[in-house]
Structure 1
Amino acid sequence: MLLVAVSGVNAREFYFAPSSLEGDGLSQQDIDLSLFPKENGQLPGTYHTKVTMNKRYIDDKSITYINDKTGALQPQLTPEQLRQWGIRVDDYAELAQLPTNEPLGKPLGDYIPFAAVTFDFNTMTLRISMPQAAIDVHHDDEIAASSWNDGVPVLFTNYAFSGSERSGEDQTTLSSQYLNLRSGANLGGWRLRNYSTWTQSDETQSWQTINTWLQHDIHCLKAQFIAGENSTRGEVFDSLQYRGINVASDDQMLPYNQRGFAPIIRGIASSNAEVSVRQNGYVIYQANVAPGPFEITDLYSTTNSGDLDVTIKEADGDEHHFTQPYSSVAIMQRPGNIRYEVTLARYRADDNQAANEPLFAQASVIYGLNNFLTFFGGGTTSQDYQALNGGTGVMLGELGAISTDVTLARAHLDNNEQHDGQSWRLMYSKQIAATDTNFTLASYRYSTDGYYTFADANEKHDASG
C-alpha cells in the first residue's frame, strides 16, 4: 500500500503556490505558474540558438519559440530559414506554397516526412533530423559567385623555341628556327589571350597570329564569354574556327563533385545509417544519413564504366546491398545538368585553304534527364547552309552505354548546286569486369550522299561539282 501511495504521488503534476514567492506584493498578484510543473515547460520568447542538422553544426541564430500543448518550446521556422540551411523547400509542394518569411503553421514533419525538430533548452541547441534526400548536398560545397576572385593584374608569355642547322657535303649550311608564343594579360575579370608563331629559314621568315581573343566569366550563367578568334568545342557539331562571339557553359565553375557524369543513387535508411559506395573494389564514397529516403548526388566522376556496389549499414549493424549500374559515354551528363554553347561569328577557313567565310550562327545543348537518359541537339545556320542535330545517350546497365545522333543538313554550294543529306553517329562504351577490359567505340559515323559538313560546304567547288 505504501508503494502504491508513493507511485500515486509521483504521478501527480507538481503545484507551486504563488504565495510562496518572497514579497507580499507578489503574493497578491495573479501569477500563472502552470507552465513550470510540466516536464519540458519553459517560457516562450526569442533565444540565441545553436542549430545542428543531422548532428552537424550549421548556424547560430536568434529564433522565436512558442509553447505547444505540452508546454515544450517549438521554434517558429520560416521557409526562407530552411532554404538558408540547405533544405530543399521547393521539392515539397505544400511547404513551397507557404509565404517565405512567415512561420510554419504545422510541425516540420508534417511537411517533410521523417523530419523532426527538438530544442534542448539547457544547451540552447535546436536539433534538426532531416532525411538526406531533403538536403541540398551541394549547399556547403559550392562557393557563392560573389566570393570568386578574378586574380591580380598580370602580363605573361609562354614560349617554346627550337632550331636546327644542317651541313651538306658541298659545305653548304642550312638553318631554321621556330618560335611558339602563347601570351596574355589579365585585368579585373578580363583575360586577353594570343597564340602566335614565328618561323625562319635561310631565305624566308614569317610571323603568324593564329588566335587572339578576349574572355570574361558570366557568373550567373556559369559560362564564359569569348570575343575574337577561337574554335567551338565540337561536342555536338564538328569544331569550327570562328571570328566573333561565343558563350559556353564552363564546368570549372561547378564544385568538383558536380563535374563529369555520375548517376544519382537513391535509397531508404531505417535509422541513422552509414552508406558506402564501392566501384571496382574500391570505396569511392561514404556518408552518414538520417532516417528516411536519401539521395547521393555528389559522387565524383571516376571511370567511364564499372557498376557501383552500395551498402547501407543500419545503426543496429544490419546491412543492405544493391547495385547501381554505371556506364557512360563522353556525351552523357548528370541528372539535371546542362551544357550549352552559342556562337555568332564569321567562319575562318584553314590558313592555306581557299574557301568561303560566311557569317553563321550555331547553338547546341546537352541535358541530363536522369541516370539513364541524356538528350542533346543543336542547329547551325548561314546564308547557304542549314543543319539540325538531335540525339540521345542511354545507359544500358550491364550492357554498357550507347549514344546515337543524326544530323540533317542542306547545303548550297558555290556552283549553285543544292545537296541534302544525313549523317549518323554512334558511340559505345562497356567494361568487361571478368577481364577488367574497357571496350570503347569512340565514334563511328555514316553519312549519306549529299551530306556536307559546314566546313566542306564552304570549300570552293568548280563548275562540274
Structure 2
Amino acid sequence: MERNLNLKINGTLKLCPLAIAIATAYFPVAQAADASFVEFNTNFMSPDSKSRIDIARYEKGVPVPGKYNVEVLINGVAMGRYDLQVSDGSGALPDGAICLTKKTFINLEINIEKLSKASLELLNGADDDQCLPVDQILPEASFDLDTGEQMLSLAVADIYLIKRPRGYVNPALWDQGITAGILNYNANFYRSVTRNNESDALYAGINSGFNIMGWYFRHNGSLSWQEDAGRRYQSLDTYVQRDIVPLSSRLTLGDAHTTGEQFDTLAFRGIQLANAEQMLPDSQRGYAPLITGIARTNARVKVMQQNRLLYETTVAPGAFEINDLYPTGYGGDLEVIIEEADGSVQRQSIPFASTSNLLRPGITHYSATVGHLRKGWVEDEPLLVEFTWRRGLSNRFTAYSGIQGNEDYKAAQLGLAVGTPVGAFSFDVTHARSTLPKQYESFGRSMSGESYQLKYSHMIQQTGSNISVAAYRFSTEGYMDFMTAMQLREAMDNNDRQIELYRPKSRLGLTANQRLPEGWGNFYASLYQQDYWNQRGSDRQYQFGYNNHIGRINYSLSASRNRNGEGEYETRYMLSMSIPFSSDSLFSQMSVNLNRDNDGRLREQVGLSGTALENNALSYSVSAANANKGGSSSGAFNSSLRTPWTTLQASAGAGKHYHNYSLGMNGTAVLHSGGVTLSPYSGDTMALVEAKGAKGAAVSNYPGVRIDRFGYAVVPYLNAWQMNEISIDPKGLPDDVELNLTSQKVAPYSGAVVKLSYGTTMGTPVLIVLDNDSHVPFGADVFDGEQNAVGVVGQGRRIFARLAQQSGQLKVRWGEAPHQQCLLNYQLPNRAKANNSGMLTLNGRCVAR
C-alpha cells in the first residue's frame, strides 16, 4: 500500500513517546516513484544542541541500510523469500533505495519483454547477482517494505507479469529438502485369552527412508510374531526415487508397483519413469474443460455449477480463454455468464461429465516400466515391460494406449474417452497373446483374445441423480491378463496338472446416488457382478442405502446381499444412528448399530465416545454389544493418547469365555544433523522446524506439535509442490526468548524433509530509566559489549532492551563524536522483581566517555 505523508511539525507541539523510534523501527516503509517525506523539528526532541540526534533518515521514511531476507508478495500472491538490499547512499544508488538482483526479478515472474526500453537495458546489462533498484526496473509499481514483518509487497500491473495458472508455484522455489532419515512406525501388542487357549501376537509396521541431495530412499515392511508361529519379516517395497523436474516426472529404481491407470497394478523390481501430476498447479490437475468465448467490452466472466460460483475473472474485449479451472468432479454442466460493461449478459452452457480417463486439452500422462515381476506372485520372476500413454486432445476427447508384456506375453491397448451432453464415456480394447510351454501342445501353442471395457458417468442436475461409476468389461475365452498368464506358465513348467486359474469373462460395476428433495435425505445403490469362463455361477454383490438426519441426529439404513460362485447368499440389514451430546460432556457422541443377517441373527451395539485434554489429545470410547441365536454379550474399551513424541493406544474387550487387550504406539522419528526429533504423526513430506530456545511453542495448526527441548519440531502432511505456510505461535514462550520470525512458506518436493529455521533472540527484557544527569537524546541507539544493537532511547530517557548477560556495560550512541556517546553499567536483579508484564525495571546513569 502506498502512503503519501506531507507533514511538518513545528511550533510548540511535542512528539508522542517513542513515536519516531517505533515508526521507523517497526512500521512499513512505503515507496513509489515519487517518494514523500515527513519533516521533524529536532528542537522538540532535545533542547540541548550537543545531544541532538540526526533524524534525516526518519524524515524520508527510509529503512535502516543493509540486507534483508523478506517474503515477497506481488499483488497479494506470495512468491517466496528473497534477499533485498537497502542502500546507504555511499555508492551509485541513493540513500534508502530498495534493490533486488536480476535473478530475483526473473524468479518473480516479471515479463521482461513488456518492460520499458530503459528498464530492459538496465536489466540486460546487469549480472545475475547485481542489485537493481525496484523503482527503476518497475517505475510504475508501488511497493511496501515492512521490516518488522520481513515482507515486501509489490503492486504491479498485470501487463508486466507472466500469466500463470492459479496455484502455480515457480519451480525455482521448490525445496528438495535436507539430508535426513525417516522412520514411520506402527507397533501393536495383542493378547487373547479364551476358555481353552492363550495367545500373544506382536506386529510392527515400518515405513522408513533416507533423503540425500534430491534422492529419496524408501523401504516399507512389517515384522510379525505369534507365539505359536514364530517371527516373520515381510518386505513390501524398497526403492529410490528422484524427480525429473523438466519432464514433470519421477524416476523410480527398485521394488515398487506399476501405476495401475490402464493395466492392473503389478509389483516389479526394476526401473520406472512416470509423469507426476502433483507437480502441476492445483488448477491443472484432474479434468476440467477449456472454456472459450468472446467479450464485446471489458467484461466480467463467471463460471457457475449448480448455482455455485467456481471461477470469476475480468477480460478485455475480444476472444478469451479460461484454462485453469480446478477439477470439478461429477458435478454437472457448467454455465458461463459474460456480464458486459453496458449491462448486457451472455450465457453459454458447457456440457461437463468426467471419467477417470479424461484429461484437460494438451495434458499428457505416461509411464514406462522395465523390470521383473517380483517373487511372491510367481517364483521365476519373469520380465515385465509396460508403457502407457494418455493425452487430452480437446474438451471432449482424450486418447490413450498402452503395451505390456515379455517374450511369452504381449498385450496392446487402445482407447478413447469422450465427454458429451449426456455423460462421459470411455471405451478401450486390449488384445493379448500368451505363449504356452512346449509340453502343453494340447492346450494349443498359444492363447489369444480381447478384453473390451466401457465406462460411463453422468450427473443429471434436474433430478440430482449422479451415476458416478458404471463400468462393464467383457473378455473373450482366450484372453488372459499378465498375472494370470505368468501364473499359468509357472504352473505348467512345474507340471502342475491341477491348474485352476479362474479367468474372468465379464464384470459389471455400478454406483449411483440420488439426492432427494430438501429434507428427504439421500439414496444410493451399488452393484458388482463377475462371471468366469472356467467356473459355473458368478460373484454378485448388491447394496442399497438411505441417509438422512432428524435435527442433530444422523441415521442411515442399508441392505446388502452377496452371492459367491457356489450359489451361496449372505444378506445383511443395518440401521446406524449417531447422536451428538454437549461438547463439555464426558462423552460427546453416542452411536447405535443394529445388524440382522439372513439367518435371523440380530446384533445390537451401543457406543459412547469422547475427548479430553488440550487439543483433544486424549480420545476414548466404550461399547457394549449383544447377539441372539447363540451369540453373547460383549464389551470393549478403546483409547488413544497423543503425546508430543508419539501416539499411544490401549484397548480391552471381554465376552463370554474370552477376554483380550492390546497396546500400541505409532509416530515418526526424523534423524537430522541436529539429532533425532520425534512426532506423534506419520507422514512422508514434512518440515523440520528449528527455533532454538523456543521450547513449548505451538507450531502451525497441527494439534500437539510443539518445539521440543532441543529446539526442533516435525510438521507432517505438507502438500508437495505447493506453498505451505508454517507458523509458530509465540504465546507461551519464556520471557527471555523472542522470535525474530513467526511464519514462513515452503514448497517441498514429494517425500522431502524441508528445514525451516526461525531465529530467536535470547535475553532478559529490561526497562532502564536514566537519571536526569544522563544527557541522552530521544532516538539514540543502544549497543551491548559485543556491538549488537539491543534497544533505543525513548521518551523520558527510558530504554527498552533485551540483555543476554546478567551484568555488563551498554553504549548509547547518537553520533560519531566522543561527546555523542556514553556508557551505562548494569547489574540485573532477581527475576522476582519483574513488573506485571514480566519485565525488569532498572535505574541507571549514562556516563560520557
- Given the two structures, how large is their TM-score scaled by the length of structure 1? 0.69
Matching residue's letter, 1:401: A
For residues 114-153 of structure 1, what are the structure 2 equivalents within 5 Å? 137-138=163-164, 142-153=168-179
Match of 1:214 among 232, 240, 251: 240
2:340 and 2:459 map into 1 onto residues whose CA distance is 31
Corresponding position: 1:413 with 2:446: no
Shift of 1:293: 0.2
Corresponding position: 1:253 with 2:269: no
Identify the residue that residue 455 of structure 2 maps to in structure 1.
Answer: 427
2:350 and 2:436 map into 1 onto residues whose CA distance is 50
Identify the residue that residue 383 of structure 1 maps to in structure 2.
Answer: 407
Q: How far does the alpha carbon of each residue in 1:164-200 deviate from its partner, in whole angstroms, 9 at most, with x for none?
A: 2122324x42111111111111112111111010111
Check whether the contact 1:137–1:297 (CA below 8 A) recurs between aligned residues: no
Check whether the contact 2:165–2:323 (CA below 8 A) recurs between aligned residues: no
Match of 2:187 among 156, 161, 174: 161
Shift of 1:258: 0.4
Check whether the contact 1:196–1:210 (CA below 8 A) recurs between aligned residues: yes
Judged with a 3 Å threshold, the aligned counterparts in structure 2 of structure 1 residues 188 and 129 are, in CA distance, closer, same or farther, namely closer
Match of 1:176 among 182, 191, 201: 201
SS in 1 for 2:404: strand
SS in 2 for 1:294: strand
Check whether the contact 1:258–1:298 (CA below 8 A) recurs between aligned residues: yes
Shift of 1:337: 0.2
Judged with a 3 Å threshold, the aligned counterparts in structure 2 of structure 1 residues 449 and 356 are, in CA distance, closer, same or farther, namely farther
Shift of 1:266: 0.5
Root-mean-square deviation (CA, aligned residues, Å) is: 2.9
Check whether the contact 1:413–1:458 (CA below 8 A) recurs between aligned residues: no
2:217 and 2:470 map into 1 onto residues whose CA distance is 34
Shift of 1:360: 2.1
Shift of 1:149: 0.9
1:394 and 1:431 map into 2 onto residues whose CA distance is 15
Identify the residue that residue 395 of structure 1 maps to in structure 2.
Answer: 419
Identify the residue that residue 119 of structure 1 maps to in structure 2.
Answer: none
Q: How far does the alpha carbon of each residue in 1:339-395 deviate from its partner, in whole angstroms, 9 at most, with x for none?
A: 00000111125x2x5454212211101100000000000111311011100000000
Identify the residue that residue 311 of structure 1 maps to in structure 2.
Answer: 337
Matching residue's letter, 1:419: M
1:407 and 1:329 map into 2 onto residues whose CA distance is 19
Matching residue's letter, 1:461: A
For residues 13-28 of structure 1, what are the structure 2 equivalents within 5 Å? none
Match of 1:457 among 478, 485, 488: 485
Match of 2:324 among 298, 320, 326: 298
Identify the residue that residue 447 of structure 1 maps to in structure 2.
Answer: 475
For residues 14-413 of structure 1, what are the structure 2 equivalents within 5 Å? 85=111, 137-138=163-164, 142-170=168-196, 172-203=197-228, 204-349=230-375, 351=376, 353-397=377-421, 399-413=422-436
2:316 and 2:271 map into 1 onto residues whose CA distance is 48
Check whether the contact 1:355–1:458 (CA below 8 A) recurs between aligned residues: no
Shift of 1:136: 7.3
Shift of 1:137: 4.2
Runs of 4+ with >6 A deviation: 126-130
Judged with a 3 Å threshold, the aligned counterparts in structure 2 of structure 1 residues 174 and 141 are, in CA distance, closer, same or farther, namely closer
Matching residue's letter, 2:474: Y
Shift of 1:138: 2.2
1:376 and 1:212 map into 2 onto residues whose CA distance is 30
2:293 and 2:448 map into 1 onto residues whose CA distance is 49
Aligned length: 348
Shift of 1:313: 0.6
Check whether the contact 1:129–1:290 (CA below 8 A) recurs between aligned residues: no
2:189 and 2:157 map into 1 onto residues whose CA distance is 69
Check whether the contact 2:165–2:283 (CA below 8 A) recurs between aligned residues: no
Shift of 1:161: 2.0
2:264 and 2:358 map into 1 onto residues whose CA distance is 17
Check whether the contact 1:305–1:328 (CA below 8 A) recurs between aligned residues: no
2:411 and 2:227 map into 1 onto residues whose CA distance is 47
- Given the two structures, how large is their TM-score scaled by the length of structure 2? 0.39
Check whether the contact 2:364–2:392 (CA below 8 A) recurs between aligned residues: yes
1:161 and 1:141 map into 2 onto residues whose CA distance is 38
Identify the residue that residue 62 of structure 1 maps to in structure 2.
Answer: none
Check whether the contact 2:385–2:404 (CA below 8 A) recurs between aligned residues: yes
Check whether the contact 1:406–1:425 (CA below 8 A) recurs between aligned residues: yes
Check whether the contact 1:137–1:298 (CA below 8 A) recurs between aligned residues: no
2:351 and 2:392 map into 1 onto residues whose CA distance is 16
SS in 2 for 1:456: helix
Between stretches 436-445 and 276-285, larger displacement belongs to 436-445
1:265 and 1:220 map into 2 onto residues whose CA distance is 27
Shift of 1:162: 2.3
Residue ranges of structure 1 left out of the alignment (5+ in a row): 1-47, 49-55, 59-82, 88-100, 102-122
Matching residue's letter, 1:195: N
Q: What percent identity do the matched residue pairs reach?
A: 33
Judged with a 3 Å threshold, the aligned counterparts in structure 2 of structure 1 residues 395 and 86 are, in CA distance, closer, same or farther, namely farther
